[in-house]
Structure 1
Amino acid sequence: MVAEIDKPNVRTSPVIPFLGEFREDVFGRRPWYFWKAGAAGSVEGLFSLAVVDELLATGLIRHPAVQLVKDGREVPADAFSRTPLSGGGTAVRPVDTRRVLSHFQDGHTMIVNYLEQCHEPIREVARALAAELGFRVQCNSYVTPRASQGLRPHFDEHDVLVVQVHGTKRWHIFPDSEAAASRYRTWPMLSPSERERRSSAEPAAELVLEAGDCLYVRRGSIHAANTEGEVSCHLTFSILDTSEAEFAESLLPQFGRLGVRGGHARPGGGAAETEDLIRTLESSLEDLQGARQFQIEAELDGPVRVIAQYETLRDLNRSVSLSRTPGIAHRIVTSGSNVQLSFGAQAIDLPAVLTPAIRKSLEAPAISGAELEELGLSRSDALQLLRVLIVSGLLQRT
C-alpha cells in the first residue's frame, strides 16, 4: 500500500514565517514566547477592523459565531441579536449591529469565531499551521475598545498563537503549571480559588503587543489582556490537541479499508489472530497517521464554486482546459488493483490503471481530455475521470 498526501500550496505563511522554529523549539515546550513584528512578518491583507465591519454588515456571521464579553461576562444572545423572521428556530440568530455598537461603546469586546471558515487569508494561515503541527486549527478575532478588558485571567485547554493586527494590547502571563506541558491527557481543572490565587501572583511576563507581533501561550498558562488608549484587534489561532482516545477513535474508519474487521475470535485461534492484527496495524500505522493528517488539513479546504463547476461539467469536452483548484488537498492510496482518491470528507475507489492519469491531471499546469487520451484512455474514460475531479473540486476551468 502506497499513500501520497498532496498538501495545498500554502506551506509557510508571510504572517508566521517561523513555523519550523515554532514547532521544534517552542510549541508545547515553553509556557509563552514572543516575536516582534520584524520576525513575525507582515499582517497586511490578513485581517482588519474593516473586515470585521464587513462580516457583520453582510448578516452572514451570526450568534453564536459572534459573542460579546466584558470583564469575563458574556452578553446574552437576545441582547444583541434578532429572532429569525421565519423557520430555523432561535439557535442561530442574526446580529443586530446597532445593539452591538451600543455594547461596544460600553466597553464590550467583540469576538468573531471560526474565521478560518469564512475568510481566505486566515484559512491559509490556519492551513499552514495545521500542516506543520499536525493538529486542527481554529481562528477567532477579538476587537476590544480602548481602556477595556474582555476576559478576566483565565487559561485555555489548548495552545494559542496570538497575532496582533491593529492597535496595541497589554498582556499579563502568570506563573505556569507544569501540568500544562503534558499533552494527550485529561486536563486538570483548577478550582476558582486556585485560579484566583495564581492570577493574583506577580505576572511571569508583561508584554505589549503591537501590530504584527505574535505571542504563543501554552495550554494551562493563566493570562489576561487589556487595551489602553486605542481600539485593539488580535487573532487567536487555537491549536486543538487530540487526546490518545480521540486519535484512536478517529482511526477506526480507516481499519475497514485495511481489511481489519471486528467480531469474535474463533475458538483456539485467538492468539494467532491477535498477532496477525498487531502485524497489520504496525505495518499500517504510518498510513493511518497520514489519513488523520489528511482529515485535519481537508477541514481547511477552500470552497468549491458550485455554479462555476456546474457550468464546467455542462461544457466539458475533450478540448476544455482544466487546472488544479488552489487550496484543496487530496490523498492518493494505491493498493493492489485499486487506487483510492480522498478529498474533503469523501473517498472514491478507482481502478489502479488510472493512477498515472490521476497524477497527471493533478500535477500538470493544465490538462484536457485529449491529453489523457494520449496516456491510453478512451475518450469516454478520460472525460469521466475529469468529471470526477471536477465534482470533487480538485479541478476547475482554466
Structure 2
Amino acid sequence: MNREPLESSTISGNLPQLTEPFSLAWLLHPVSTTDFIRSYWETAPLVVHRETPEYFSRLPGLDDVDELITATTSGPIRSVDDGLMVRTDARGTRTDRRFRLDAGGMPDVQEAYRAYHDGFSIVLNRIHHRSGVVARLCGALEVSLHHPVGANLYLTPRDSQGFLPHADTHDVFILQLHGTKEWHVADPLDSLPLASAKSGPLKSFSGFRAFTLRPGDVLYLPRGFPHEAVTGSSSSLHLTVGLHVFRWIDLVSEALALFADEHTGLRSALAPGFLDAPLDAARLATLADELARAAISQPLLMERAKARLGARVRATGKAAGGGHFRSIDAISGLTLDSVVARAHGVLCRAGSTAEEARVEFAGNYVSGPAFLAPALTFVAGHERFAVGELPGPLSAEDKIDLVGRLVSEGLLHCTDNDDGGES
C-alpha cells in the first residue's frame, strides 16, 4: 500500500481566520477560489492543513452532538436515516443501526451512548435541517457555487472505522472539527459518476494515499474517488459537506422539457408495439437536430432552463439562523441612512415583465409593479447597502416601505443587529 501524503495537493500553514466565515474563500483559505476551480474542481483531491485548531469553532463541536441527536424536525423533511450508528469490524463486516425512537418520537440518546462506547460511529444525516449554523455554511456555499449543498455529521470513537471503502457520486468537503482521522484516498475507477450510479463497498481498494486530518483542516474530494477513514488513539468529529452539482445533462433535460411544451413531436406517443420494432432513427435524429438548433437560435430557452435549475437551489430547505426577529423589530426605525444586508447564505434572483417585478429567494418571493424592477435588481446584486441607495422612481417613503417588506419576508436584515444571532 502506498501511504504517502498527497504532497502535490496539500497546503499547510499557520493561518488567521478570515472575517467573512462560511464563504467558499473562507473554507479554502489560503487556496484561492480561482486556483481551486482551475486545478482541483471535479479533478483532484485537495488537502488544507491548518495550524489553527479553532478555525471551525463556530460549527458544532463534540459537546453539541448530544443535542443534535435529539433535535428533531417535523413533517416530510424527516427521514428514517436521519440518524445512524455504523461500525465496520476488523474482518470488514459492516453493521448498521437506526436510532431507536421512544413513544414520543424522540431518539434514544442513551442507546447512542452505548453504541458509541461499543465502537459505532454516530451519523447525523442532513444536519443542515437541524443546525442553523450548518445551514448558514451550506447556504453560503450555494451562493458561491450555485449548486445544492447539504451536510452530514460523523462522530467516530477511537480505534474504529465506520464505513468500508467506497466512492461517492457527489463532491464533498470534509471539515475536521474534533480529534484526528486518517483518510485513505485512491484514484477513481469511474470518472464523474452520475448521481443515479450505484454506490457501495468496493471489491478491492489498494494503491491509496494516506494522510491525517486535524481540527481546522479541510479535505476536498471530487465524486468518484474511492476513500475510507479510520481513527487512531483519539475520537473524531467531522462535517461532510456534500455538493450535489447540476450537470450538463440536467440543463439539457430542463431545456428538453421546455422545448416539449412547444413541440408536439416530442409529446407524441411512441408507436404501439415499439419494444418489438426498431426505433425510427431518422425521426430521432430530426428531433435532436431541432433541439440543438433551438438551443442556439433561442437563447431564452436555455436561460429558462438555467432559471429552473436556480429555482431548485433556492427552494432547498434548511434550518433558520438566529436573530432575525430582532431585525423585524427594527423595521419601524428604518431611515434612508439605515444599512441593511442580504440574509446570510441566501441566493436570490430578480426578474421582471412588462407588468411585474419580483425577487425570488429561499422558496419565497416578493413582487410588485414593474417600476420596482431597478430597485429589486439592485437588491439582488448588492449584499449590503443603505436604504437611500435604492434606484428607480421611488420616494423616500417607498424605499423604506420596500426594504421593510424585504426584511419582514427574510431576504434582508438590519445591520444594527449584527452583534446578535446573524453576525
Per the normalisation by structure 2, the TM-score is: 0.69
Task: Specify the SS of the correspondent of 1:219.
Answer: coil
Of the candidates 96, 100, 113, which is equivalent to residue 112 of structure 2?
100
Q: Does 1:76 align with 2:97?
A: yes
Instruction: Measure the CA separation in 1 of the matches of 2:238 and 2:22.
Output: 22
Alignment of 1:233 onto 2:226: no
Give distance in 1, aligned partners of 2:21 and 2:56. 19
1:239/1:12 CA distance change after superposition, 3 Å: closer
CA contact 2:178–2:236 (8 Å) conserved in 1: yes
Change (3 A) 1:13 1:46: farther
The Cα shift of 1:169 comes to: 1.1
Whole-angstrom CA distance in 1 between matches of 2:238 and 2:66? 15
Q: 1:113 to 1:221 in 2, by over 3 A?
A: same
Q: Deviations over 1:347-367 (max 9, x none)?
A: 455322122343566756443
* Distance in 1 of aligned mates of 2:334 and 2:46: 55
Q: CA deviation at 1:252?
A: 7.6
> How far 1:147 moved relative to its partner?
0.9
- Over the residues paired in the alignment, what is the CA RMSD in angstroms? 4.2
Pair 1:125-2:137 in alignment: yes
Q: Secondary structure at the match of 1:36?
A: strand
Superposition deviation, residue 149 in structure 1? 0.9
1:148 is aligned to 2:148: no
8 A contact 2:69–2:124 mirrored in 1: no
Give the paired residue count.
360
How far apart, in 2, do the equivalents of 1:120 and 1:212 lie? 20
Q: Name the structure 2 match of 1:182.
A: 192
Aligned residue for 1:44, secondary structure, equals coil
Residue deviations 1:66-96 (CA, integer Å, cap 9, x gap): 111011635433xx422443xxxxxxx4211
Q: Does 2:27 match 1:15?
A: yes
Residues 1:323 and 2:340 are matched in the alignment: yes
Compared with structure 1, are the counterparts of its residues 24 and 84 closer, same or farther at alpha carbon in structure 2 (3 Å cutoff)? farther
Give the structure 2 partner of residue 353 of structure 1.
Answer: 371
| Consecutive unaligned residues in structure 1, runs of 5 or more | 1-7, 86-92
Whole-angstrom distance in 2 between the partners of 1:243 and 1:136 = 12
* Structure 1 position 108, deviation (Å): 0.4
Q: Which amino acid aligns with 2:349?
A: R
Change (3 A) 1:40 1:250: farther
Aligned to 2:222: 218
Query: Quick one: distance in 2 between partners of 1:251 and 1:275?
Result: 10
* Range moving further from structure 2, 300-309 or 103-112: 300-309
**Residue 286 of structure 1, CA deviation:** 4.4
Residues of 2 paired with 1:9 and 1:291: CA distance? 29
In the TM superposition, residue 103 of structure 1 has moved relative to its aligned partner by 0.5
SS in 1 for 2:141: helix
Segments of structure 2 that go 5 or more residues without pairing to the other structure are 1-19, 266-285, 417-423
Q: Is the 8 A contact 1:9 1:326 kept in 2?
A: no
Higher relative contact order (Cα pairs below 8 Å, separated by 6+ residues): 1
CA distance in 2, matches of 1:297, 1:24: 26
Aligned to 2:262: 262
Stretch deviating more after TM superposition (53-62 or 104-113):
53-62
Report the identity percentage: 21
Deviates more, 1:211-220 or 1:104-113: 211-220
Deviation at 1:117, TM superposition (A): 3.1
